[in-house]
Amino acid sequence: MGARQICRFDRWWDRTKMAIHDEVRRLAKKWSGGTGWPKRLEWIELRGIRGWADQRIAFPFPIVAIAGENGSGKSTLLQAAACIYKSGPDDRTWFPSEFFPDTAWEQVREAWIKYGYMQGGAKHEESSIRKPSTRWLGHGDRPTRKVEYIDLNRIQPVATRVGYARIAKNKHIEKSARPFDAQQLKRLSSIMGRNYDSAKMALSDIDAGREVPVITQMNRQYSGFHQGAGETMATELLQADLPKFGLVLIDEIESSLHPRAQRRLIRDLAEQCRQRELQIILSTHSPYILEELPPEARMYVLESQGIRKVMTGVSPEFALTKMDDDVYPECDCYVEDVNAKIMLEELLSFHAREMLPRCAVIPYGAASVGFALGIMAKNNRFPRKSLVFTDGDNSESEGCTLLPGEDAPERVVFNALRASRPRWGDLWTRISRDLSSVDDACSSAMALGDHHDWIKYAANMLRCGGATLWQAMCAEWAKGLPPNDAAHVVRVVEGSLA
């Protein structure tokens, strides 16, 4: 591997290992304390609506991001959630007939939206809104909660919206405006990475019903007719009400925002969620959004052969790979994380080199995701040949193949290299460090209690990238791995490619 490839690989490694931001960490800490959030939607289950059939989706974190391909059902989940609650007399209440109407081409019958929720500390195991025939029933039994439903995917540039051309084509003045308060302005500046002097939602004397976002930066004023799409989206999102204890639903949250702004937006929402004890459910196609959230807050809707499955705890890499067809391997090999990915790739590189280019190795995240994928693979529910590998410290599971070593990849590789003769093998030559430094760094790392910290600790002592060190270690481990120990993995991959 050349220097440029190593540098690029190290940057990718660092991105995939990105730490959870402080705002999300603070939210997680408050949530794990078991207090707060007296109103929350715990799960939802749909039947007879746009192909959903009794799949139950739980919401184990105050912010949950749902990813999936277009048409997989993400928006349907958000729309169904909007219908679960009724709002107060002065607030907007959503009804399922608004989102799921009967038309000339489809009739909604024998449908339901089941849900479990907490209200005022009391747990309600199961309620429902249902449409057995022509009418939706159960509206009167809905709990009360303020719901804010925001469909960013439908926010068009101001100049292209219905009725706004009339404002632009006629001489007009500002009639009134709703200025952002200091906190809203600070949030807008933080998300966009710019210092704004002011922001407001203004009305012209031409049309008293169509607001125009207006921002001021460096004493220059820009309306929505002249703003970038991202600025318009952020401005309109931040003027939305985020009610205390409310439910906020955001469809296509990354619309028009560059990656850094996407990250800042999630951090901002995490702060608002913690302070106001909100519950936020959002849909996304962005790995940057997923990277900002802990595993339990990441979901993926996988549709195969007309059957939907919602997986919780997926990695951003898994979600991105499932939504992108840029690479066309013959076989998808799913592994738990980046460390397992490199371990498997180096094993194949040494023991079955011709197979490696024919495989895509994809980290999936939590082990529970692997178990679910294994069942799908066994039942041939993937569009192409797929294998699922779990770390060796897991028990055997249906449809899954264990990686060698009967332990976590880090422990397997470190222990094998320390026990090799000579000690640590030729690792020192692979990373261009002297043997004593390698021995000291790797042995000291193994004294740490958490094996997840071993690679970073040793790499810091050796002044090299974590990706560079781990790949070298896996390559040296694979070289010393007896063929019989590698055979079961090679046979599984070979059988899939046959």
What are the residue boundaries of the structural domains of the chain, listed by start?
22-146+242-301, 158-238, 314-497
Instruction: Using the structure block, give the residue that is written with the tokens 């070298």.
Output: 472
Are the beta carbons of 234 and 258 closer than 8 angstroms?
no
Q: Strand ranges (DSSP E) for 259-330?
A: 279-284, 298-304, 307-312
| pLDDT beyond 70 at 374 | yes
Are the beta carbons of 266 and 289 closer than 8 angstroms?
yes
Sign of the torsion formed by the C-alpha atoms of 162, 163, 166 and 167: negative
| pLDDT beyond 80 at 133 | yes
Q: How much is the pLDDT for 2?
A: 37
Instruction: Using the structure block, give the residue that is written with the tokens 């706004």.
Output: 164
- Residue 284 tokens read as 């996304």
Are the beta carbons of 417 and 430 closer than 8 angstroms?
no
DSSP 155-213: ---GGGSTTHHHHHHS---EEEEEE--HHHHHHHHHHHTS--SEEEEEEESS-TT--EE
Backbone angles phi, psi at 379, to 5 degrees: -90, 10
Q: Region of 14 please: left (phi>0), alpha (psi -120 to 50) or beta.
A: alpha
Percentage of the chain modeled with pLDDT above 90: 71
Choose the most confident range, by mean pLDDT, from 210-214, 301-305, 461-465.
461-465
- In angstroms, the CA 317 to CA 324 distance is 10
Instruction: Using the structure block, give the residue that is written with the tokens 């919780």.
Output: 312
CA atoms within 13 A on the CB side of 235: 27
Mean pLDDT throughout 17-45?
A: 88
Nearest to 379 by CA among 309, 330, 321: 309
Name the residue with higher pLDDT: 475 or 307: 475
- Residue 112 tokens read as 């339901």
| pTM over the 0.85 mark | no
Name the residue with higher pLDDT: 467 or 498: 467
Q: How much is the pLDDT for 4?
A: 32
Yes or no: domain 22-146+242-301 corresponds to CATH 3.30.365.10: no
DSSP 103-144: -SS----SEEEEEEEEETTEEEEEEEEEESSSS-B-GGGPPB
Name the residue with higher pLDDT: 462 or 70: 462
Mean pLDDT throughout 171-191?
A: 93
Name the residue with higher pLDDT: 232 or 443: 443
